[in-house]
Amino acid sequence: MDPIYFTYLNGLDVSALALTNDEILAAVEEGLRAQGAGETVIEPRVHLEPDPAFQGHFNILRGYIAPLQLAGVKIVGDYVENYQRGLPSEMALLNLFDPRTGIPVALLDATAITEMRTGAVTAIGAKYLARRNSRVLAHIGARGTAYWNVRLLDHLFDFSTIRVHSRRPESRDSFAARLSEDLGKPVIATDDWESCVRGADIVVEASRLNAPTPLLKSEWIQPGAFVAPYGTMSAVELSLTDLMSKIVVDDWGQCKQGKFGSLRAHVETGRLSEQTLYAELGEIVTGHKAGRTSDVETILLWHRGLSTSDIALGHALLTKARAMGIGQQLRFA
């Protein structure tokens, strides 16, 4: 048997590759398009909770994208108190394989991948589901994925007003300062949820809660808004879905099951079901279903995170790494 090698991209490599906003969006949209065309396999995520006292768990995401000829498994830790240790709340590894033989293709630090692909799905959702003239963004949460939510949304919409909020003042203030510098425009850190959310055209809820708590009030959502809640623990009221003209998810197979997610209670009480669900995002990206059709529609996107988005972004990083000569070749067998 000939020697088998796989590519290893560590966090420094991923940073050096410096994917542009457009490269990130294009890769993730390609994965969504493949999903909408029926060219993917997405297995619902599974969880490992080592000990409830640790206040964290692992998510295992598995998928396959036929046009890219890649299968992948990502393992990501989600530890809400990691900031106290100076660590990211989410750290991950992505394994990519040849789906025809099972040969390992690559191992990537997927911490940044998780952050970038999550922000990209939020932004692509807004591209199809938010009003084109959306000018005010409200963002709850300041974790790693939050940065890419705001950065990629602003790349598409060039907001006149961006408001952010998170539980800890030092967190929201530093988050707003970083965004202000990187985006070249003022970003306002608000002291409470209501002043952040009221009057916003686009509302993203990416909070980090220890238990479900309805902190985002439905009455604050203005008609015609686009709302994207995706916290692991729900921060929304049950009445939120009553406001919606359309409810869209990234993948119904994983949204309809599991113990976590911002609309878990809505599924359990029947407010979100196959009958009330409008579409998966991939169906809209491919044009099989229409996105927003009028400015008066109030639309919600719930995305739990797709293995195929990780794989698509991993493929983009591998392609750029080969062109730039970045990464290590490790012998497998």
Question: How would you classify the pairing of strands 104-109 and 328-331?
Answer: unpaired
In order, the DSSP letters of 80-94 are TTGGGGT--SEEEEE
Unique residue bearing structure tokens 């619902």: 44
* Residue spans of alpha helices (H) in the chain: 11-17, 21-36, 111-129, 144-157, 169-183, 193-197, 252-255, 264-268, 281-285, 307-324
Cα 327 from Cα 15, distance rounded (Å): 11
Query: 56-111, pLDDT tens digit by residue?
Result: 999 999 999 999 999 999 999 989 888 889 898 889 999 999 999 999 999 999 99
Return the CA Rg of the chain: 19
**Summary mean pLDDT of the chain:** 95
**Cβ-based neighbour number of residue 231 at 10 Å:** 22
- Give 116's pLDDT tier (boundaries 50, 70, 90): very high
Span 268-288, average pLDDT: 96
pLDDT at 208: 81
Q: Of 255 and 20, which is predicted with more confidence?
A: 20
Backbone angles phi, psi at 156, to 5 degrees: -85, -30
Sign of CA dihedral 36, 223, 276, 153: positive
Cα 326 from Cα 333, distance rounded (Å): 22
Cα 153 from Cα 198, distance rounded (Å): 18
Half-sphere exposure (CA, 13 Å, Cβ side) for 24? Answer: 26
Residue whose C-alpha is closest to residue 75's, from 96, 87, 100, 58 = 58
Cα 255 from Cα 235, distance rounded (Å): 16
Residue count of the chain, please give it. Answer: 333
CB 252 within 8 A of CB 277: yes
- Give 319's pLDDT tier (boundaries 50, 70, 90): very high
Q: Does residue 261 carry a pLDDT above 90?
A: no
Cα 182 from Cα 204, distance rounded (Å): 19
Domains and CATH numbers, the chain: 5-113+308-331 (3.30.1780.10), 117-304 (3.40.50.720)
Span 211-238, average pLDDT: 92
Which helix (H) or strand (E) element contains residue 140? strand 136-140
Q: Does residue 259 carry a pLDDT above 80?
A: no
- Give 262's pLDDT tier (boundaries 50, 70, 90): confident
pLDDT at 102: 97
